[in-house]
Chains A and B, each alone.
Chain A
């Protein structure tokens, strides 16, 4: 195998409705098995919807939200949700819900609200940035 790379993944599609997030997840899994590191998964555009823990797929269907959580915790990489894109789409953590006087929140660790600075950092420092 070629030397391990530090890979950042950008997800622009929701956890259900388009295949982008699923493709990104399977790519991330394969990259980790191959010995590469995932610098971060950065969720942007409708990709921020992956963060909602209120998603409830049918019991016999794949739970991508849960799969992201498990993969990120096991392999210690960030699930970075662009805060500005998230707030516009109704994805909020406890802190933002309180700040904005919203009745509830739907995002928690290992997903975290971050800035576009994280995307920028990956664009500058990662060996590869793979966009889904």
Chain B
């Protein structure tokens, strides 16, 4: 068993958790490609298009998700159940992701040696 799972469950901008999780993911990607990112619960809101946080004094860190490909961060999973529960569909998301059911997310997370829930 190997690899690092970053699970992010927080909506953007109400707290710094989501932005700082992204920073941690980027830093870790410099050391290893063996990592996965899981957007669960309100975390799915981080990936919405058309965010304009500058007006509230928050950073538009969502734009950096478009660079994940460049950083070889490819294992990006979004919980389909979380999207449905929140009335969001895949076309509203900024980047291409793999949508998994909650059961599939759980199985995928368990393939990783280290799990962070930031």
Contact = CB atoms under 8 A, between A and B. Distances in A.
Q: Do the two chains belong together in a single complex?
A: yes
Interface of A: 10, 12, 44-45, 84-85, 88, 115-117, 119-121, 123-124, 129, 131
Contacts of B118: 12, 44-45, 131
A124 B4 contact: yes
B16 interface: yes
Main secondary structure of the interface of B (DSSP, over half): mixed
Given A10-B116, A44-B24, 9 more contacts: A44-B20, A85-B20, A116-B24, A119-B27, A120-B24, A120-B28, A120-B31, A123-B114, A124-B31
Nearest to A42: B24
B32 interface: yes
B24 A131 contact: no
Interface string B18-42: 0010011011101110000000000
A10 B117 CA distance: 11
